[in-house]
């Protein structure tokens, strides 16, 4: 039986890799939803432009998608405060389910992408390793509200749900406000262009904290596994690369990949120090024959500042997914090298 995936948020770093992974599998057709739409791949992937905050537009655009069997919800809209994130991000999920459930009579699964905000990781030091059954924290938290909505909607239905909880996701997709690997690559490229060493810019304690990340390709495999495995139905899973690291050990190696020395850390806001670098970026593109990506497309500076500010341990226990049957693993250091190499192959960085 062929599966038809509806990837909601198909143009982000998670969605892009998920679409590519699904399209590589023999028994999947893929429909990507995003505000911008995308380029169709005949016979494999088609894109639909939709405003998910508009219930009427969502209903109209999804009204003909009666063959959808799996919804993969990876959409996200950023807002200035944690409280402001709740209304739009919950509304988009509700609008999608309200629109697709009445028309897709063969719907089998709804997959929800979450993160460590469920554990309060964004608020400050939290219990590590975080586990899926840890007690909740005081709201607001849209991830929790989204999962509660799915749990309640699924009651008595034929379809199941799953929730994936990755750490910081690593991938090469551009134009995403939360892409740490791209931010590091651009920061290193600019440092090299200016003839300065690569300094860790975060809080002093963050250099030695114990961390983990999640490769976008591994996350895509885990997402499809959870959506198709009976052992994963109606559950949440932490999904990580499987190893831990400290910036103090990894940072000099990342610097060396770019041919740079790693000088002692110096706390600084990348958002501030990169504010005047757009002219330099354009000069670099001309000098090195790079692709004409805008500086905004490769700038995830607020997110990088956020991650580099974690002066506390940041990791979860991902053994539940292994016990349920998912055994993929990615070495984090090699993940960064692979992303940097892909950015260089695409002529995004010199």
Which of 224, 8, 3 has its CA nearest to residue 107? 3
**Whole-number pLDDT of residue 293:** 94
Residue 176's SS3 state is coil
- Residue 268 scores a pLDDT above 70: yes
CA–centroid distance for 341 within its chain: 19
Query: How is residue 314 annotated by DSSP?
Result: B
Query: How is residue 338 annotated by DSSP?
Result: H
Sequence-separated (6 or more) residues with CB below 8 Å from residue 270: 183, 187, 201, 301, 304, 305, 308
Which of 127, 317, 160 has its CA nearest to residue 231? 160
**Whole-number pLDDT of residue 41:** 82
First to last CA, the chain: 45
For 164-175, what is each residue's pLDDT tens digit? 999 999 999 888
Mean pLDDT, all residues of the chain? 96
Token couple for 286: 């001309």
Measure Cα distances from 340 to 193, 198, 283, 335, 336 in Å: 16, 15, 20, 9, 6
- Residue 343 scores a pLDDT above 70: yes
For 237-250, what is each residue's pLDDT tens digit? 999 999 999 999 99
pTM: 0.96
Pairing of strands 109-113, 168-170: unpaired
How many angstroms separate the CA atoms of 220 and 276, rounded? Answer: 36
Bridge partners of 48?
Answer: 33
Measure Cα distances from 3 to 28, 97, 106, 238 in Å: 5, 18, 10, 25
Full set of structural domains in the chain with CATH? 3-168+214-239 (3.40.50.720), 171-212+244-314+329-345 (no CATH)
What percent of the chain clears pLDDT 70, i.e. is strictly above it?
100
Q: Could you tell me the pLDDT band of residue 1, with boundaries at 50, 70 and 90?
A: low
């Amino acid at each position: 039986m062929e599966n038809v995936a509806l990837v909601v948020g198909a143009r982000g770093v998670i969605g892009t890799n998920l679409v590519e992974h699904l399209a590589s599998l023999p028994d999947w057709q893929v429909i990507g939803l995003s505000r911008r739409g995308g380029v169709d791949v005949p016979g494999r992937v088609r894109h639909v432009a939709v405003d998910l905050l508009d219930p009427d537009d969502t209903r109209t655009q999804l009204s003909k998608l009666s063959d959808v069997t799996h919804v993969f919800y990876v959409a996200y809209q950023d807002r200035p405060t944690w409280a402001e994130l709740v209304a739009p991000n919950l509304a988009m999920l509700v609008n999608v389910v309200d629109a697709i459930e009445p028309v897709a009579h063969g719907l089998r699964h709804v997959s929800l992408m979450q993160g460590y905000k469920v554990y309060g990781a964004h608020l400050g030091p939290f219990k590590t390793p975080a586990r899926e059954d840890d007690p909740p924290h005081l709201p607001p938290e849209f991830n929790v509200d989204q999962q509660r909505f799915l749990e309640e909607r699924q009651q008595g239905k034929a379809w199941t749900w799953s929730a994936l909880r990755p750490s910081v996701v690593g991938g090469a997709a551009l134009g995403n406000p939360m892409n740490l690997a791209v931010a590091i690559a651009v920061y290193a490229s600019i440092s090299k262009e200016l003839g300065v060493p690569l300094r860790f810019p975060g809080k002093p304690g963050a250099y030695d904290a114990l961390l983990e990340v999640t490769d976008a390709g591994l996350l895509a495999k885990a997402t499809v596994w959870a959506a198709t495995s009976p052992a994963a139905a109606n559950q949440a899973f932490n999904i990580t690369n499987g190893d831990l690291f400290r910036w103090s050990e990894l940072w000099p190696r990342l610097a060396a990949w770019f041919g740079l020395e790693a000088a002692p850390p110096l706390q600084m806001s990348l958002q501030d120090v990169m504010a005047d670098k757009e002219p330099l970026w354009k000069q670099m593109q001309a000098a090195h024959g790079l692709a004409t990506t805008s500086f905004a497309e490769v700038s995830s500076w607020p997110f990088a500042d956020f991650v580099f500010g974690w002066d506390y341990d940041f990791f979860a226990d991902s053994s539940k997914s292994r016990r349920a049957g998912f055994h993929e693993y990615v070495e984090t250091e090699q993940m960064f090298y692979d992303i940097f190499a892909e950015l260089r192959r695409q002529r995004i960085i010199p």
